[in-house]
Amino acid sequence: MIFRTNNYLIVIVAVLFLLGISNLEAKKQSLKGRAQTDYRSAQISMQHELYDKALDQYLRVLNNAPDHVESIKNIADLYFLNAEYAEEDFEARERYSKANEYYHRVLKVINGLKDWKSYDNFETIKDDAEKKTQSIWVRIFNMGREAYLAEDYDESEKIMNYVLQLDPSRGEPYLLLANIADKRGDDEKKMEYFLSLLEIAKDNTQVIINIAIDYRDKKDWENAKKYFGMFIEAEPNNVAGFVELAFVYVQLNNYKDALLNYEKALAIEPTDVDILINAANVAGELNDQAKFIDLFKRVIEVDKTVENVEFLCNRLARYQNWQELITYCKIWHELDPKAKDPVQLIIFSAQQTRNEALRKEFQDKLSKM
């Protein structure tokens, strides 16, 4: 049996095949009438480097075809190019601002199309527009930073507020604004900017520690405690956080938590003399004699000076810890053989412990001094 195919069926199949091929081809935005004429004229002007004329013609295209991506992108590029050759910063800013406006318009149109990837060149245009908006932000920000370095704080502040409008998610302007507020002595504004920055950069430990230190300097101990605590959570191996928090607890007369934080600091830096001395002093405030003695012994192990040994001896005498007093007064005597105080303390301690041989030994030394 022979099967025959009708001619109309062949035509339908051919049409569907051609449509399938055309769907695989990239789409283009079509222009009609006046918009098409203006676009062609603009392209010719661009070829002849008549950029001002081209800009006017592209703008006319948008009067009739407001979503024509290539025209919007070319307008943005022309403003960007024009900004590069501006003689004054304020002119460059204005032109970069216009370029930024049109690059964002490009992105808005493209992102509004679900099938934008099927359009010819849209991916390249989108990528370039995104890069240019970032570049514009950096360029304008750098103008503000240069104004700051030139101590033109009013101009720098103006530019920083502008770049925040361009991209509120960037934290750098807040940091510079905080520095400007600091230069002006406006602590309240400075803190406001730091807190705004922290909302954006929640894990930025440098911001957290700056806020904490600022509260510490203002003797706002509760807020200082809060932010030093946040810093420790973010950087649990940074000894500075524990030392600062311990200091805050001392100001709050919370010696127990102060000592706890000094001990955490010492777990990281066990031979830091300043931390050891501070921890010992806090233990003294808590009347924890054993802890004080242990900590100050560690001080002397690291830094055996006359001053440190004398301080411990005086505290041991107050605690009536005669055996330890004898031990450390001997060290004091070795460090400063001409000093009478350690010899007299040894004699007194020997009397308290009924160590007659020791008393006689040092009584003899005292008589020869």
Give every CB contact of residue 305 below 8 A, 6+ residues apart in sequence.
Answer: 335
For the residues of 187-218, what is the DSSP string, one character each? Answer: HHHHHHHHHHHHHH-TT-HHHHHHHHHHHHHT
Phi, psi of 23 (to 5 degrees): -70, -25
Determine the 3-state secondary structure of 119 from DSSP: strand
CA distance 178 to 195: 10
Q: Contacts for 73-79 with beta carbons within 8 Å, 24 or more apart?
A: 73/102, 73/103, 73/106, 73/125, 73/128, 73/129, 74/42, 74/46, 75/102, 76/100, 76/101, 76/102, 76/103, 76/105, 76/106, 76/129, 76/132, 77/132, 78/51, 78/54, 79/55
Q: What is the pLDDT of residue 22?
A: 35
CA-to-CA dists, residue 12 to 6, 8, 16, angstroms: 10, 6, 6
Of all residues in the chain, the percent with pLDDT exceeding 90 is 78
- Which CATH number goes with the domain that contains 246? 1.25.40.10
Does a structural domain hold residue 231? yes
Tell me, yes or no, whether 49 lies in a domain: no
Number of domains in the chain: 2
Amino acid in the structure at residue 305:
T
Within a domain: 100? no
**Residue 245 in domain:** yes
The token pair at 85 is 């050759």
Residues 274 and 310 both lie in one domain: no
Identify whether the C-beta of residue 110 lies closer than 8 Å to the C-beta of residue 116: yes
Query: Are 224 and 216 within 8 A, CB to CB?
Result: yes
**pLDDT the model gives residue 85:** 84
Closest CA to 138 of 179, 107, 178, 92: 92
- Tell me what pLDDT residue 21 has: 34
Q: Select from 284, 313, 344 the last residue of a domain.
A: 284
Query: What does each of the 369 residues of the chain score in pLDDT, given as a tens digit?
Result: 332 333 333 333 333 223 333 334 457 888 999 999 999 999 999 999 999 999 999 999 999 999 999 999 999 999 999 998 888 888 888 999 999 999 999 999 999 998 998 888 899 999 999 999 999 999 999 999 999 999 999 999 999 999 998 888 888 999 999 999 999 999 889 999 999 988 888 888 988 998 999 999 999 999 999 999 999 999 999 999 999 999 999 999 999 999 999 999 999 999 999 999 999 999 999 999 999 999 999 999 999 999 999 999 999 999 999 999 999 999 999 999 999 999 999 999 999 999 999 999 999 999 988
Question: Token pair of 119, please?
Answer: 């359009």
Q: Is residue 185 part of a domain?
A: no
Q: Does 99 fall in a domain?
A: no
> What is the spatial distance between Cα 252 and Cα 246, in angstroms, rounded to a whole number?
10
215 and 280 in one domain?
A: yes
Write the single-letter amino acid at 67. D
Length of the chain: 369
Predicted pLDDT of residue 364: 92
Separation of alpha carbons 317 and 312, rounded Å: 9
Do the domain assignments include residue 35? no
Q: What separation, in Å, do the N-terminal and C-terminal C-alpha atoms of the chain show?
A: 138
Q: Half-sphere exposure of residue 27, counting CA atoms within 13 Å on the CB side? A: 16
What's the pTM value of the predicted model, to 2 decimals?
A: 0.67
Which candidate, 265, 245, 242, places its Cα nearest to that of 254? 245
179 closest CA partner among 225, 210, 200, 209: 210
Report which of 322, 342, 340 is spatially closest to residue 332, judged by C-alpha positions. Answer: 342
From CA 50, how far away is CA 29, in angstroms rounded? 24
Is residue 13 domain-resident? no
Same domain, 277 and 346: no
pLDDT value at residue 3: 28
Tell me how far apart the alpha carbons of residues 272 and 243 are, in angstroms, rounded to a whole number. Answer: 11
Give yes or no: residues 365 and 328 share one domain: yes
**Residue 334: how many CA atoms within 13 Å on its side-chain side?**
9
pLDDT at 26: 56
216, 278: one domain: yes
> Is the sign of the CA dihedral 44, 48, 54, 57 positive or negative?
negative
- Alpha carbon of 210 to those of 154, 185, 192, 197, 205: distances in Å? 23, 16, 12, 11, 8
Domain range for 311 is: 304-369
